[in-house]
Chain A
C-alpha cells in the first residue's frame, strides 16, 4: 500500500510537472516510512519551498526542489514530528508540516474503529507548519492517520503517519493520565495491561476505604482485553459527587476470582 501511495504521489507530481514544467524543478525521493495519499494541486505560484522534510523518515523534498503550491485548494500534510509516541500520556509540541494551513486548520489522528484524537492547543506557525498536542493516553497501539482539515472540507492526510506505541510498565500497575487531574476541567484516562482476556471490575476507593465508584468490563473488549486497556473517568462517584482534592485508589479485579490484577493511585488537584 505504501508503494502504491508513493507511486500515486510521484505520478501526480510528474503529471503536474509536465503541465507546468517551468515552475517545477528538482526531484522527489522516498526514504521509507509512511507517506500517505497527499496530493499536490499546483495551479499558481504562491509559496516557494526549499525543503520540506518529514522527521523519522517518510517523504522529503530534496533541496533544490522548486514547486508551486496553490492556495484555496487541497490542504497538504507532508510530515509529523515526532512520528510516534507512548500511549501513557499526551504528546506535546508535535510539529505537523504540509501546505495551505490556515487559522481554521485542525489536525487529528484517526484509526479505523477508534475515536479520533483531536489535536489541541494548536498553533499556526506558518501556512506550512502547525504545532499542537495530542492526548494519546490510552490510545490503541498501532499506526494512526494524520488528518489535516482546513475547516472547508479540504482534507489532507498522511496515512499511517503516526505510530502509537505501548510503554513497558509493570503489569501490576494501573496508571492514569493526566495525574494529577482536575475533574472540574477534564477526565483522566486509567490504563492497565492484562495478561489475557478477563472480565474485570474496576473499583475506586477514597483513602478511608469508602468504595466510591465501581464498573465491570467484559472479557475481550476494552477494559477486559489482553494487553493495553484504557478507561475514562470523569471524577464523579456513585454517591453523585465530584471528587475533591486528594488521592483515590484504583483496584483492577478479575471478576471471577476476585484477584487484584493491578492497582493504581489517582491524584486530584482542582486548581
Chain B
C-alpha cells in the first residue's frame, strides 16, 4: 500500500516536468464504451467488461478473446470511434492477456472563412494502444502504451505525435467487491512523454488517477460502481462517476449513472442511461448521455462487442449430462465441525478444473477432496466445474448450517435444540473449555446478560427487568421463581391483579410470584415442567434458561430464520 501511495504521489508530481505550451487532449480521459457511459463512466474497477483494454488494462489479464468497438458523435461534432481486441497469451514468462486497439476522435469540415468564401480542413486525435495484463499474486496489473497521432489535414497540414503509458491495477477486496486503480500518462515529459509539433513546440500529456470500486449483490444481478478522477492539473477539480447495472436476465443489462463533467472551473452532474443486450457471444450496448443542463444536444453511444467469456451456451455435449457430483456433504446439512471436507467427482471430460469458493482444488483421477473452514451459522460452499477456457460449465451450491458442539449436551438432551440455536445466535455462550454445563445454576448477573443479549439480537421492545425483590444480591443463585419472574416480565407478560387457582400444587395463591408464574404457564414458557409441582426454591439451570428464552416470540423468530435453509445463504 505504501508503494501505491508513493506511485500516486509521483504521478501527481509529473506536471512539474511538463510542457511548454499546455496539455494535449487525451481521448482516454473519458471512460470508453457504451456500457461504461451508461453507468456514468464508472468502469475502473469492473473487470468483466469487453472494453477493458480501453479503460483499466489490468482487466484483460484473465479474459478470453474479446473484440470491442464504440461509436458516438460527441456533442454532435466529434466522431469518436474505438476498435480493439484482446486475447490471452502464454509465452515464456508472459501469462496474461494482450490488447491492441485505437481510440480515434475526428472533427471534420472545419471552416476557414475568407473573402472568397469558405475552405475546409479536418482534425484528428488518434491514440493507438498496446496493452498487456497479467495476474500478480492476488491482484491483476496491466500496462498500456499509447501512441498519439494528432493534427490537421486538408486545407491545413500540421501534425504532432507522442507517446505515454498507463498503469492499471485491479485488487479483489472480497469475492464480490473489487478496487480498481488507473494511473494515466505516468511517464514524465523528460522521458519523451509529450506530443511534439512540427515547429518544435511540445505539449504535455495530462496525468490522471482514476480510483474505482465495484461490488455485486443480489446473486450478482446488481453491479454497483463508482470512480473518482484526480487530475494532476490542479486547475481541474476531482470528479466522481457512479453507476449501477441490473441484470434481471443474463442477456439483459439495465444501467444508469451520474457522470460528473468539468464545467467552467468546477464540475456538474449529468444523468446517464444505458442498456445492454447479449446474444450468444455478441453484446450490443447503448448509452444515452446528455451533457450539461440547458444543452439540448444529447450524445448517444453505441458499442458492439464479441466476448468469448460471455453468454457461451452449454455445449451440446454437456447438455443434460451429469458433469459434476458432490459425494459429501449433501446440501442443507447441519454441521458441528469448524472444518469440513468436500468430496466429489468430475464426470465429464470437458471439466478440467474444479474450484471451491473460488479456490482451484487438486483433482486426482477426477476426484477431489478439499477441506473448507465453516463459520458458526450459515455457510454457502460454491463448487464450480470449469472447462479448458476457464468458463464455468457446472455450479453446485451447498447450504451448510454450523451449530456449536457441546460435549455435555448430548444428542437427545431435553434442551439440546434451544441450547444450540441460542448459542449459534450468540445469545448464550458455552465455557472456554468447550462445555456448556446445562445443569449449572444461573446467577443473577448471568440472567441479566442473557436478557441483554436477546434484546440486542432480536431488537425486542421489552425492557430488561431488574432483579425481583427476593434476590438479595446479583451474584446469588437464582431460584426458579425469581428466574421465571424475570423472563416472564422480559417477555412482556403482565402480572394479573388476581388469579383463580394455584398455577402449581406447591405455589400457594399468596406466593409472591404466584401471579407471574401463572401467566408464564399460560404462555407456555413452563411447558418443560412435567411435574405437578413448580419447586419455586429450586435453583434455576442454564438449560431451563435456554428453553424458556427460546419460547419468547422474537427469539423464536430468529431461531426460525437460522434453521431456514431457503433464506440467508445468497
Contacts and interface: CB of A to CB of B under 8 A. Distances in A.
Interface residues of A, number: 55
A205 B107 contact: no
A213 B262 CA distance: 11
Contact of A260 (B26, B111, B297): B297
Given A239-B235, A243-B22, A260-B295, A251 B75 contact: yes
Given A239-B235, A240-B235, A265-B107, A211 B263 contact: yes
B553 to A, nearest CB: 58
A66 B521 CA distance: 139
Given A89-B114, A239-B235, A265 B264 contact: no
B337 interface: no
Given A239-B262, A245-B150, A267-B123, A169 B118 contact: yes
Interface residues of B, number: 55
A173 B294 contact: no
A208 B22 contact: no
B498 interface: no
A209 B150 CA distance: 17
A45 interface: no
Given A207-B25, A239-B265, A267 B156 contact: yes
A61 interface: no
Contact of B197 (A209, A245, A263): A245
A22 interface: no
Contacts of B261: 209-211
Nearest to A177: B113
A13 to B, nearest CB: 34
Interface centre among B78, B105, B109 (most CB of A within 10 A): B78
A185 interface: no
Contacts of A54: none
Contacts of B291: 209, 211
B74 interface: yes
Contact of A258 (B78, B117, B201, B294): B294
Contact of B75 (A85, A205, A259): A205
B220 interface: no
Contacts of A251: 75, 295, 297
A112 interface: no
B236 interface: yes
Contacts of B405: none
Contacts of A240: 235, 265
B115 A211 contact: no
A201 B263 CA distance: 14
Contact of B292 (A211, A237, A249): A211
Interface string B112-143: 11110110010101000000000000000000
Given A180-B156, A246-B125, A258-B295, A238 B264 contact: yes
Contacts of B195: 245
A238 B236 CA distance: 10
A127 to B, nearest CB: 28
Contact of A179 (B21, B74, B112, B295): B112
A210 B554 CA distance: 56
A241 B22 contact: yes
A209 B30 contact: yes
Nearest to B291: A209
A180 B152 contact: yes
A211 B297 CA distance: 13
B296 interface: yes
Interface in B262-294: 262-265, 268, 291-292, 294
A167 to B, nearest CB: 7
Contacts of B112: 177-180
Contact of A265 (B110, B265, B295): B110
A12 to B, nearest CB: 35
Given A180-B110, A180-B156, A238-B265, 17 more contacts: A176-B113, A179-B110, A207-B27, A237-B264, A241-B235, A244-B21, A245-B197, A245-B203, A246-B150, A247-B110, A251-B295, A251-B297, A260-B296, A263-B76, A267-B121, A270-B21, A270-B201
6 contacts: A169-B118, A184-B21, A207-B74, A208-B26, A212-B264, A245-B197
Interface of A: 85-86, 88-89, 91-92, 137, 167, 169, 173, 175-180, 184, 201, 203, 205-214, 237-247, 249, 251, 253, 255, 257-260, 263-265, 267, 269-271
Counting from the closest, the 3 A-B pairs by CB-CB distance are A244-B22, A238-B264, A210-B262
